[in-house]
């Protein structure tokens, strides 16, 4: 990671110590984690601001930083690639936690990790989405060991602080060169970054602090759920470590395509195929709804192909529980591929009749006169 400390504090490279101090106070107040308790990005930003201030407010360290270039480029630049994150870099400079200028303190155990999510998929037919569904999901998840309570040590014994990293979980290596003193941090090889040594590992979890368990989870999927919906069961996934929160169970819903109805949000859409006489004269029709109900349809005379007939509240249930969507029927003209002799005679007669009417229409006569000119 390449970092420009002046950019972090939003000051120029010629800024005075007073300007640097004012910038730090402003940014620390804006980014303080107490003001953004659920924003990890803001916590990292606060750490960067504090780190930049600690270096640039020290004339000797600032001079060394300016002489050897920014962290972005230049020979001898202060590279921090040996650190896994800005948190590691901050820990190296200021210890295992950090003290804010407002008096609060936050620390994390070296083995801190949030639990992973568990993803499962359930599949329904479109008909099943009309009603609430009860599903049973079988999972296998990592849970905190009931015997050692996550300590990894056999009950009755206790982990001891790692003598190599003194409980920090990282070790620092310092090198002196002609360009100055450079340090890097890496996970402690003795405790593997946990900060503690377990002399008597727990027999139940074999010193892991967690144990895989098979569980059965009963869930209620609400009516009206659509394809691609993701339901979240917070805190029911794999357990975290070092005080980290447990992951979630994510239930992805798949809805199989229906041969007749398509879904548009809470609305249902289908084609209503009718014949030419029904379009012209109108008709009393009926369709079978997704629920199995027979719904009467009144087709007005003169309906045009492509028109939409809407039937209110016959769509899918709305997820917020406030009624149902609508059913939209798109009128489509059915044209037969073959007709019998009698039907052909009737159609030709109708065609001739319509041709005579068209010949007498004002629009056609006006167009004819225009061409004659």
Task: Tell me the per-residue pLDDT of 149-187, one tens digit each, with 9 for 90 and over.
Answer: 999 999 999 899 999 998 888 888 877 766 667 777 888
Which pLDDT score, from 0 to 100, does residue 214 have?
95
Which pLDDT score, from 0 to 100, does residue 83 have?
38
Examine the domain organization and report whether 92 and 11 are in the same domain.
yes
Domain annotation covers residue 338: no
Examine the domain organization and report whether 272 and 366 are in the same domain.
no
The number of folded domains in the chain is 5
Examine the domain organization and report whether 91 and 44 are in the same domain.
yes
Domain annotation covers residue 306: yes
Of the pLDDT bands very low, low, confident and very high (cuts 50, 70, 90), residue 218 is very high
Domain annotation covers residue 340: no
pLDDT tens across 284-313, in order?
999 999 999 999 999 999 999 999 999 999
> Over the chain, what is the mean pLDDT?
81
Examine the domain organization and report whether 249 and 267 are in the same domain.
no
Which pLDDT score, from 0 to 100, does residue 356 have?
57
pLDDT tens across 239-296, in order?
998 888 999 999 999 999 999 999 999 999 999 999 988 999 999 999 999 999 999 9
Residue 251 structural domain? 111-152+205-257
Three-state SS annotation for the chain? CCCCHHHHHCCCCCCCHHHHHHHHHHHHHHHCHHHCCCCHHHHHHHHHHHHHHHHHCCHHHHHHHHHCCCCCCCCCCCCCCCCCCHHHHHHHHHCCEEECCCCCEEECCCCCECCCCEEEEEEECCHHHHCCEEEEEEEEEEEECCCCCCCCECCCCCCEECCCCCCCCEEEEEEEECCEEEEEEEECCCCCCCCEECCCECCCCCCCCEEEEEEEEEEEECCCCCCCCEEEECCCCCCCECCCCCCCEEEEEEECCCCCCEEECCEEEEEEEECHHHHHHCEEEEEECCCCCEEEEEECCCCCCCCEEEECCCCCECCCCCCECCEEEEEEECCCCCCCHHHHHHHHHHHHHHHHHHHCCHHHHHHHHHHHC
Which pLDDT score, from 0 to 100, does residue 320 have?
76
Of the pLDDT bands very low, low, confident and very high (cuts 50, 70, 90), residue 60 is confident
Examine the domain organization and report whether 41 and 62 are in the same domain.
yes
pLDDT at 339 over 90: no
pLDDT at 364 over 70: no
Of the pLDDT bands very low, low, confident and very high (cuts 50, 70, 90), residue 368 is very low
Domain annotation covers residue 339: no
Instruction: Report, as an integer, the average pLDDT of 74-82.
Output: 37
Domain annotation covers residue 309: yes
Instruction: Report, as an integer, the average pLDDT of 228-237.
Output: 91
Q: Give the CATH number for residue 39.
A: 1.10.287.110
Examine the domain organization and report whether 249 and 266 are in the same domain.
no
Examine the domain organization and report whether 142 and 236 are in the same domain.
yes
Examine the domain organization and report whether 25 and 98 are in the same domain.
yes
Examine the domain organization and report whether 13 and 80 are in the same domain.
yes
Of the pLDDT bands very low, low, confident and very high (cuts 50, 70, 90), residue 3 is low
Which pLDDT score, from 0 to 100, does residue 45 have?
85
Domain annotation covers residue 176: yes
Which pLDDT score, from 0 to 100, does residue 68 have?
61
pTM of the model: 0.60
Examine the domain organization and report whether 83 and 15 are in the same domain.
yes
pLDDT at 135 over 90: yes
């Amino acid at each position: 990671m390449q970092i420009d400390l002046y950019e972090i504090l939003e000051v120029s490279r010629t800024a005075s110590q007073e300007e640097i101090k004012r910038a730090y106070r402003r940014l620390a107040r804006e980014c303080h984690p107490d003001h953004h308790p659920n924003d990890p990005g803001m916590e990292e930003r606060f750490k960067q601001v504090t780190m930049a201030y600690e270096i640039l407010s020290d004339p000797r360290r600032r001079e060394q930083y300016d002489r050897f270039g920014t962290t972005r480029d230049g020979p001898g630049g202060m590279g921090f690639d040996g650190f896994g994150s800005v948190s590691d870099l901050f820990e190296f400079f200021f210890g295992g936690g950090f003290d804010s200028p407002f008096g609060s303190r936050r620390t994390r155990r070296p083995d801190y990790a949030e639990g992973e999510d568990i993803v499962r998929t359930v599949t329904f037919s479109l008909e099943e989405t009309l009603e609430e569904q009860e599903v049973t999901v079988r999972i296998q998840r990592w849970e905190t060991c009931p015997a050692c309570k996550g300590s990894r040590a056999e009950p009755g014994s206790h982990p001891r602080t790692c003598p190599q990293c003194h409980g920090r979980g990282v070790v620092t290596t310092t090198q002196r060169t002609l360009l100055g003193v450079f340090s890097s941090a890496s996970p402690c090889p003795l405790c593997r970054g946990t900060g503690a040594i377990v002399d008597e590992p727990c027999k139940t979890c074999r010193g892991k602090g967690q144990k895989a368990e098979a569980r059965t989870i009963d869930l209620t999927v609400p009516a009206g759920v659509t394809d691609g919906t993701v339901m979240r069961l917070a805190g029911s996934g794999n357990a975290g470590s070092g005080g980290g929160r447990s992951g979630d169970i994510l239930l992805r819903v798949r809805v199989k395509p229906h041969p007749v109805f398509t879904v548009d949000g809470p609305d249902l859409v289908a084609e209503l195929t009718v014949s030419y006489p029904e379009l012209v004269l109108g008709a009393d029709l009926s369709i079978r709804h997704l629920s199995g109900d027979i719904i009467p349809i009144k087709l007005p005379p003169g309906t045009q192909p492509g028109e939409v007939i809407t039937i209110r509240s016959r769509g899918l249930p709305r997820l917020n529980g406030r009624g149902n969507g609508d059913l939209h029927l798109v009128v489509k003209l059915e044209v037969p591929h073959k007709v019998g002799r009698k039907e052909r005679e009737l159609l030709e007669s109708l065609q001739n009749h319509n041709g005579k009417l068209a010949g007498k229409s004002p629009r056609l006569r006006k167009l004819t006169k225009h061409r004659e000119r």
